[in-house]
Homo-oligomer: A and B are copies of this chain.
Amino acid sequence: MLNANRTIGQEELEARRVTVNVTGTERSSAYDVVIRGGIFDECGSLIAEACPAHRYAVISDSRVAELYGERMVSALAGEKLESVLFEFPAGEWNKTREIWSDLSDGLLRAGFGRDSAVVAVGGGVVGDLAGFVAATYMRGVPVVQIPTTLLAMVDSSVGGKTGVDTSSGKNLVGSFHQPSLVLIDPTALDTLSEPQFIAGLAEAFKHGAILDEAYFVRLAEDLPGICARDVDKLSQLVARSVEIKAEVVGRDEREAGYRRILNFGHTVAHAQETVSGYSWLHGEAVAVGMVLEAALGEAIGLTRPGVADRLRDVLISARLPVKLDAEIVPDHLMKAFELDKKREGGHTRFTLVSDIGTVAGSAEVGWTHEVPEETLRAVLFG
């Protein structure tokens, strides 16, 4: 939330703008990600320009709606844009088909037509759920993503993934639906809890680890300012992460190949999340996953020795976890890999780095790598 007592420096009034070009795979998808401290109150004109619509359905969860719901409706009204606020109870466990149905029915009852647009304001759950409402409402209406958590800012708001969880797992039902515009106000992070904030940093470190060593180094150096929620440092961080993600997604919207490089740390993270019943925050699981997958890469000779240690040191300095939950039963985790394996039709595959800043692989050999089960067990539980 924009803190009224806070002085806004010149630097946070300068907007950073990243254009995401998704070519070849989905309907004409070029959209801007605009990053600026205090952007909330002026977002009406940006939305009017990039996403003109007859009416706007502002979708948020109960917690975020309290902070930003009315403010968003007012910002739209300031540009003579009609909107209605729809909210659902906060919590990952509400990212379901039932809530998606309820939201869709709410829009129908309120008479929203095909010429409407959705404005998603909140964290990853809101973005995924509201994005899926937009993707399927009358066979698709545009969506503006306004992420309010660090994880959503650096990761989920860009790339067009939408969806819901089912009892069988996360994000199993959904679709690809690129936003028309992404608006990011780093001052919104002032109200984010410390664990949520820290967890979001893991994905930023991941972007550095796979594609940009200098960014990785700068993040580590800037940690004090970042953790103090310095708006300029945060704007820089978000902008660079969005640039990296935009470049990857632009080359491969649908995870057919190159996009999988974003999964560094995620195979282990997903397995751990599954067996621990999602008691960890996603970013925390990813931090552990990156360290262990770097160790896997070292074990099979794909990753330069020392990379796992370097990752571990930096993530510890950011107060992120770097070890598997001690209560995890090895066979349960292996079983979770098995399930993942079945879903991909063959073997468990990992995204690996050859060094910090350099993902391992190529278009020819692919971007994921097999690790023998013995190696997996030895590195994870050895």
Q: Does residue A233 face the partner (Cβ distance < 8 Å to B)?
A: no
When C-beta atoms are compared, the residue in chain B nearest to A176 turns out to be: B139
Q: Are A175 and B345 in contact (CB under 8 A)?
A: no
Q: A24-B27, A26-B26, A97-B97 are in contact. Are A140 and B176 (CB under 8 A)?
A: yes
Please report the C-alpha to C-alpha distance between residue A28 and residue B174 in the assembled complex, in whole angstroms.
20
| Cβ–Cβ < 8 Å partners of A162 in chain B | 139
Number of interface residues of A (CB under 8 A): 41
Min CB gap A255→B, angstroms: 8
Which residues in chain A, 64-123, are within 8 Å of chain B measured between CB atoms? Answer: 97, 101, 104-105, 108-109, 111, 113-115
Residue A6 at the chain B interface, CB threshold 8 Å: no
Q: Indicate if A54 sits at the interface (CB-CB under 8 A).
A: yes
Q: How far is the CA of A111 from the CA of B97 in the complex (A)?
A: 20
CA distance A104 to B100 in the complex (A): 15
Complex CA gap A46/B115 in Å reads 39
Contact B343 A166 (CB under 8 A): no
| Bitwise interface map of A from 166 to 196 toward B, beta carbon under 8 Å scored 1, else 0 | 1111011111100000000000000000000
Q: With an 8 A cutoff between CB atoms, is A136 at the interface?
A: yes
User: Are A168 and B97 neighbours in the complex by a CB distance under 8 Å?
Assistant: no
Picked from B137, B139, B166, B343, the residue with its CB within 8 Å of the CB of A111 is B343
Chain A residues 326 to 359 lying within 8 A of chain B, measured CB to CB, are: 342-345
| Interface residue A135 (Cβ < 8 Å from any Cβ of B) | yes
A375 within 8 A of B: no
Q: Is the CB of A115 within 8 A of B172?
A: no
CB distance from A326 to the nearest CB of B (A): 31
Q: A173, B137: Cβ atoms under 8 Å?
A: yes
CB distance from A112 to the nearest CB of B (A): 8
- CA A104 to CA B342, docked complex, whole Å: 17
Judged by a CB distance under 8 angstroms, whether A240 is at the interface is no
A304 within 8 A of B: no
In the complex, A142 Cα to B304 Cα: how many Å?
A: 39
Q: Is A254 an interface residue (CB 8 A)?
A: yes
Contact with A27, one of B26, B136, B163 (Cβ below 8 angstroms)? B26
Q: Which residues of B contact A173 (CB under 8 A)?
A: 104, 136-138
Across the two chains, which residue of chain B brings its CB closest to A167?
A: B105
A140 to B101, CA, bound (A): 19
Interface SS majority for chain A: mixed
Chain B hits for A344, CB < 8 A: 113-115
A114: which B residues are within 8 A, CB to CB? 343-344
Nearest B residue to A177 by beta-carbon distance? B175
CA distance A240 to B40 in the complex (A): 53
Interface centre among A135, A139, A254 (most CB of B within 10 A): A139
| A266 contacts the other chain (CB 8 A) | no
Residues of B within 8 A of A105 (CB): 166-168
Contacts known (A101-B97, A136-B175); A345 close to B28, Cβ less than 8 A: no
Closest CB-CB distance, A26 to chain B, in whole Å? 5
25 interchain pairs, CB-CB under 8 A: A24-B28, A25-B28, A27-B27, A54-B345, A104-B166, A105-B166, A105-B167, A108-B166, A108-B169, A108-B172, A111-B343, A113-B342, A113-B345, A114-B343, A115-B344, A136-B163, A137-B172, A138-B172, A138-B174, A139-B162, A139-B171, A139-B175, A139-B254, A140-B176, A140-B254
Q: A27-B253, A136-B136, A137-B173 are in contact. List 15 more A-B contacts (CB 8 A).
A: A24-B28, A26-B27, A27-B254, A104-B172, A108-B166, A108-B168, A111-B342, A113-B344, A114-B344, A135-B175, A136-B174, A138-B172, A139-B162, A139-B175, A140-B175
